[in-house]
Amino acid sequence: MSLDLDARQRAMLEEMHVHVWWPESGEGAVSAAAPVAAPGPVRAAPKNIAEAMAAAPELAAAHASTPPATTIVARASAGDIEGMDWPALQQAVAGCVACALSKSRKNTVFGVGPAAPADGRPPQADWLIIGEAPGENEDIQGEPFVGQAGKLLDNMLKAIGVSRHGAEDGQPHKAACIVNVLKCRPPGNRNPAPEEVAQCAPYLRRQVELLQPKVIIAMGRFAVQSLLQDTVPDVVATPLGRLRGKVHQYHGVPVVVTYHPAYLLRSLPEKAKAWADLCLAMDVWKKRKAAETAQLAVQAEIG
Ligand code: URA
């Protein structure tokens, strides 16, 4: 695919050590998308345990008696989560005490993206970026990818006109929501435990169902394994590199696999591969956007 990038975006890619051929213009050029929902954080609901407890005394009682380790204490059932709208899902995550991570976290990290409308619908975002779990800074700020890896991620997304804030610098951007597999920080940034991933999975699934993104980018092996465990045989044993370069599916949404930005910070040569992954995701987005536009045109004609 080709991208029609401005000087600022090209500079960003240079900074990322990504060298690509720049078309002057052309059919494949990415057109400026209409501005999406007004910028602002997704999180309007209580985001830390104290806020959630104040709103729900029964959760406070459950949390106070949470035993150590990963014993399950309280979480809405998967069935309940399936029926939640966006604000209810935010509340459920904010008050979740399903595993021991609720004891050590400072904040839950639900996700970030353009502002959700006030009527319970999710934010409008065609792109969903999925990482692993909050780190120290994310735990403190309650927002995903706010550290060095987040800066790299934002720069890479900006280079293709995508942003967690919708419109920035007067430039039209395609809106992205950014979430993690785990909504709470594993202490010491250790890897997520399988039972923690399992406890959080219904939240992630509901986020996808509600957002209905046109494309998902799964970053790193935990996101990839969580999303593709039902569709890719032996995904745990499959090297991430072998899953790149093709379009997978998660509940009807196309998934593109790429490296985690924290890995890219340590491994400069892989940045060019990550850029290829973003280009593949952009191809997917463009096709789905075109199909949607055509369908809307037909509907308008039918009346
Ligand atoms: N790494 C992740 O996977 N997620 C974050 O939010 C931050 C770092």
Q: Which residue has the higher pLDDT, 73 or 225?
A: 225
Q: How many C-beta atoms lie closer than 10 Å to residue 291's C-beta?
A: 11
Give Cα separations from 113 to 39, 117, 177 (angstroms). 8, 12, 4
Residue of 280 and 167 predicted with greater confidence? 280
Q: Which atom of ligand 1 is nearest to the CA of 144?
A: 6
Q: Residues 213-260: pLDDT tens digits? A: 999 999 999 999 999 999 999 999 999 999 999 999 999 999 999 999
Pick the more confident residue, 168 or 174: 174
Helical residues (DSSP H) of 229-269, grouped into ranges: 240-243, 261-266
E strands, 105-252, in order:
127-131, 162-163, 174-180, 215-219, 247-250
Look at 41-45, 71-75, 141-145 and tell me which has the smallest mean pLDDT: 41-45
The pLDDT of residue 31 is above 70: no
pLDDT at 218: 98
Please state the atom number of ligand 1 nearest to the C-alpha of residue 178.
Answer: 6
Q: Please choose, from the candidates 301, 219, 296, 299, the residue with its C-alpha nearest in 3D space to the C-alpha of residue 263.
A: 219
Report the percentage of the chain scoring pLDDT > 70.
Answer: 74
Asked if the model's pLDDT at residue 14 lies above 70, the reply is: no
Q: What CA–CA distance (Å, rounded) separates 193 from 143?
A: 21
pLDDT, average across residues 37-46: 41
- All structural domains of the chain with their residue ranges: 1-33, 49-302
CA-closest residue to ligand 1 atom 7? 145
Residue 169 pLDDT: 61
Distance 25 CA to ligand 1 centre (A): 35
Q: What does the DSSP 8-state code read for residue 252?
A: T
Which of ligand 1's atoms lies nearest the C-alpha of 180? 4
Ligand 1 neighbours (beta carbon < 6 A): 131-135, 138, 144-145, 149, 180, 262
Q: What is the CA(151)–ligand 1 centre distance, in A? A: 11
Cβ atoms 281, 256 nearer than 8 A: yes
pLDDT band at 303 (very low <50, low <70, confident <90, very high): confident
Check residue 162 and give its pLDDT.
95
Q: How far is the CA of 184 from the centre of ligand 1 (A)?
A: 10
Beta bridge partners of 131: 180
Q: Is the pLDDT of residue 26 over 60?
A: no
Which pLDDT value is given to residue 166? Answer: 79
In the CATH scheme, what is the homologous superfamily, with its name and number, of domain 49-302? Uracil-DNA glycosylase-like domain (3.40.470.10)
State the pLDDT confidence band at 210, using cuts at 50, 70 and 90.
very high
Least confident of 68-72, 130-134, 150-154, 272-276: 68-72
Q: Residue 54 pLDDT > 70, yes or no?
A: no
Predicted TM-score (pTM) of the model is 0.79
Q: Which of 148, 164, 180, 260 to mutate to test the pocket of ligand 1 (most atoms within 8 A of CB)?
A: 180
Whose CA is closest to atom 6 on ligand 1? Answer: 144
